[in-house]
Structure 1
Amino acid sequence: MKKALVVGVLAVLMATAMAASAPQPHVPFTDEDLGSEESMWSLYQRWRGAMLPVHTSSSSHLGDMESRFEAFKANARYVSEFNKKEDMTYKLGLNKFADMTLEEFVAKYTGTKVDAAAMARAPEAEEELELELAGDVPASWDWRQHGAVTPAREQESCWAFSAVGAVEGANAIATGKLVTLSEQQVLDCSGGGDCIGGGSYSPVLHGYAVKQGISPAGSYPPYEAKDRACRRNTPVAVVKMDGAVDVPASEAALKRSVYRAPVAVSIEATQSLQLYKEGVYSGPCGTTVNHGVLVVGYGVTRDNIKYWIIKNSWGKDWGNNGFGRMKRDVIAKEGLCGIAMYGVYSVKNGHKNWSYPATPAVVASY
């Protein structure tokens, strides 16, 4: 097998050097591709050829090829078995994370820490929230259709990206201008956390975005996935917020809040979410939250499946251009994967005076 691996490595290098087509978000395969070690290796070669332009796994070096292949085989079998199940509301695929074990993936692409003190404060916001959002909200809503959501990006510090997304959204709603802000500045300067140990979006939204403000992305060095010294040496116009609201821990409160503005939340990342391709994600997952995302809307499918629209930070090759749908109004009070346990949204002057359209948005049918 090792000899075959060496030969295969050369084949991969030749194939990828000749490849000129755009990278594929998911590589299709059949049961025949999983039938033997040789056919599986051929599938892996094809996957690497398709994914090399976008593949960012830190373990993708040729010296680690054999262990990458083992992880790929396990994920390919998992995807195949899962997609054969009946009555599932979503599908998995061989995306760019398919050669990483769940442990490796979680270590690299998650890292949100829940602020226990802020979670304890959340129920106190219930009365204020009810007063602000009295009355019914639309059955579906999508902030992408109202100019409040920037395109999905890729990170190794999800807490910073969910915080920045919340600020971008609230600022756009208040000002009518959607400005892409700097996650690297939040990573360097906010004190909310780091790339290695993770962090929390709560101190960013409650503190840093209010007191210091966040620079536009073009006014600060680009995201490096590394902790640097704070480099705000040149005065620039920053986006400042006027506060933040901790969302009460319920899906009903989360829905009302999402109609107010995009909400930073925490969820538990699992193997099925790692390899998510399309549809309404319905688990399996628990409530050991470890990953920060942004809820930018909600809706209902034609089959009457209620869902949240999440903006992830695993690149545009995950899900639908970096966005996904997660099942809404589940039995568990914490919501699916703990999505309703701890949400925070930003507040900016003009927010409360924003005029909501009378007609609900038409939710994208992806």
Structure 2
Amino acid sequence: MKNSLAIGLLAVVVAAMAVAAIHDVDMNDVPFTDEDLESEESMWSLYQRWRNMYASSPFLDATENERRFEAFKENAKYVNEFNKKEGMTYELGLNKFADLTLEEFLAKYTGSKVDAATLASFPEPVEEEEPVGVPTAWDWRQRGAVTPVKDQGSCGSCWAFSSVGAVESTYAIATKKKPVTLSEQQVLDCSGGGDCNGGYVSTVLSSFAVKKGIALSQSYPRYSAAKMACRTTPRTPVVKMDGAASVPSSNEAALKLAVYTRPVSVLIEADKNFQLYKAGVYSGPCGTKVNHAVLAVGYGVAPNNIKYWIVKNSWNTNWGESGYIRMKREITDKRGLCGIAMYGMYPTKKSAAISMVVDSY
């Protein structure tokens, strides 16, 4: 009797684990069919299913709930129509941003700006031809040089996350060790590079990461998705870079060579399709009015021979392909898809020691 009970309990546990595993696979979006879009009632039911998975607040007042529902309906219809198109290399989904208009999404989750003066001060990029022996595919994640995907929250601090990711990876490659996790909150608070309304990767890489250094995440207050007063104290462990460099603009071959050497901070234009991206090789359409900073960590070739960039985002793992997006490369436009080849930047590092802050910020 006891054995039968134990076996029964084990079966329940195994079944629960299987359900949880399936749920994890489908966490990035809420599946739906044409029938879910047929009426207001079925749309409302779909919206409630989505809210059960993603809504940050369980309760909304009637006006706000109606506003969210209207945005959700528009996005659900858009996703449904897009995914029926033939010949597309990627698909969209009802992910965690599905109740936001494009304007709301861009205001909360992007925020990269371009500082032409700072970029002009970077060392003159060298036009290089791709040397013989560069592999057709490369992924720094497989070489232990990329930290886990993080979450910027509803703060336009992508510039801080892209900068920190570049420094983390450059330091890991220099030390030939597992990457240390650094503090985006300290960069947001102390770098002068920007705030939750946007900022500049170039300022962080060329100035702050060189002169001051970025704190280890465990040595600075945790990320709060809000700019605070700088709280770096004496003897805080920081990682400093030696300098920064840029990739020759509008040159995907140069970007490929740079990414083969280390992950590179890149700026792109995020739009509606980017907002609702689920999986596959993203091929636009998109423009080149860059508004979002991400990290190119590799490149590859899909089974259908489409070449792509491997791009780390900062919207948590429940967006895209576990927090990543593959973006088509070697397109006709020299600026690259969504402008990805326009403003490539990376820090440089030869020495490998972690420094201590000894002066005041």
Indicate the TM-score class for this superposition, using the shorter chain for normalisation: 0.7 to 0.9
Query: 1:42 is matched with which residue?
Result: 45
Distance 1:287 1:43, change over 3 A: same
Distance between the aligned counterparts of 1:350 and 1:72, measured in 2? 50
TM-score by length of 1: 0.85
Higher deviation after alignment, 204-213 or 23-32: 23-32
Structure 1 residue 151: deviation in Å? Answer: 1.1
Decide whether the 8 Å contact of 2:210 with 2:242 is kept in 1: yes
Decide whether the 8 Å contact of 2:118 with 2:203 is kept in 1: no
For the residue of structure 2 that corresponds to 1:124, the secondary structure is coil
Query: 1:192 is matched with which residue?
Result: 193
Distance 1:80 1:122, change over 3 A: farther
Decide whether the 8 Å contact of 1:267 with 1:291 is kept in 2: yes
Query: 1:240 is matched with which residue?
Result: 240
Query: 1:32 is matched with which residue?
Result: 35
Matching of residue 203 in structure 1 with residue 203 in structure 2: yes
Structure 1 residue 123: deviation in Å? Answer: 8.8
Structure 1, unaligned stretches of length 5 or more?
1-19, 352-366
AA at the equivalent of 2:88: M
Distance between the aligned counterparts of 2:328 and 2:100, measured in 1? 25
Matching of residue 61 in structure 1 with residue 60 in structure 2: yes
Structure 1 residue 297: deviation in Å? Answer: 0.3
Decide whether the 8 Å contact of 1:102 with 1:271 is kept in 2: yes
Query: 2:307 is matched with which residue?
Result: 306
Distance 1:60 1:93, change over 3 A: farther
Query: 1:273 is matched with which residue?
Result: 274
For the residue of structure 1 that corresponds to 2:134, the secondary structure is coil
Query: 2:163 is matched with which residue?
Result: 163
TM-score by length of 2: 0.86
Higher deviation after alignment, 59-68 or 239-248: 59-68
Distance between the aligned counterparts of 1:262 and 1:112, measured in 2? 18
Structure 2, unaligned stretches of length 5 or more?
1-19, 353-361
Distance between the aligned counterparts of 2:213 and 2:131, measured in 1? 30
Root-mean-square deviation over aligned CA pairs: 2.0
Query: 1:153 is matched with which residue?
Result: 150
Decide whether the 8 Å contact of 1:286 with 1:337 is kept in 2: yes
Matching of residue 106 in structure 1 with residue 103 in structure 2: no
Decide whether the 8 Å contact of 1:122 with 1:247 is kept in 2: no
Q: Choose which of 51, 71, 74 in structure 1 pairs with 2:54.
A: 51
AA at the equivalent of 2:48: Q
Query: 1:144 is matched with which residue?
Result: 141
Distance between the aligned counterparts of 1:36 and 1:134, measured in 2? 58
For the residue of structure 1 that corresponds to 2:136, the secondary structure is coil
Query: 1:325 is matched with which residue?
Result: 326
Decide whether the 8 Å contact of 1:118 with 1:246 is kept in 2: no
For the residue of structure 1 that corresponds to 2:298, the secondary structure is strand
Distance 1:283 1:123, change over 3 A: farther
Deviations 1:195-248 (A, max 9, x none): 12x101101011111111111111100111111111012412211111111111
AA at the equivalent of 2:78: Y
Distance 1:350 1:238, change over 3 A: closer
Deviations 1:293-343 (A, max 9, x none): 000000001110000000001111111110110000000010000000001
Structure 1 residue 62: deviation in Å? Answer: 3.7
Query: 1:90 is matched with which residue?
Result: 90
Distance between the aligned counterparts of 2:101 and 2:59, measured in 1? 12
Decide whether the 8 Å contact of 2:170 with 2:348 is kept in 1: yes
Distance between the aligned counterparts of 2:256 and 2:41, measured in 1? 49
AA at the equivalent of 1:61: L
Decide whether the 8 Å contact of 2:97 with 2:275 is kept in 1: yes
AA at the equivalent of 2:323: G
Decide whether the 8 Å contact of 1:24 with 1:51 is kept in 2: no
Deviations 1:161-202 (A, max 9, x none): 000000000000011231010000000011111112x10110
Distance between the aligned counterparts of 1:314 and 1:118, measured in 2? 27
Distance 1:115 1:41, change over 3 A: same
Decide whether the 8 Å contact of 2:185 with 2:224 is kept in 1: yes
Decide whether the 8 Å contact of 2:264 with 2:344 is kept in 1: yes
Count matched residues.
324
AA at the equivalent of 1:321: S
For the residue of structure 2 that corresponds to 1:238, the secondary structure is strand
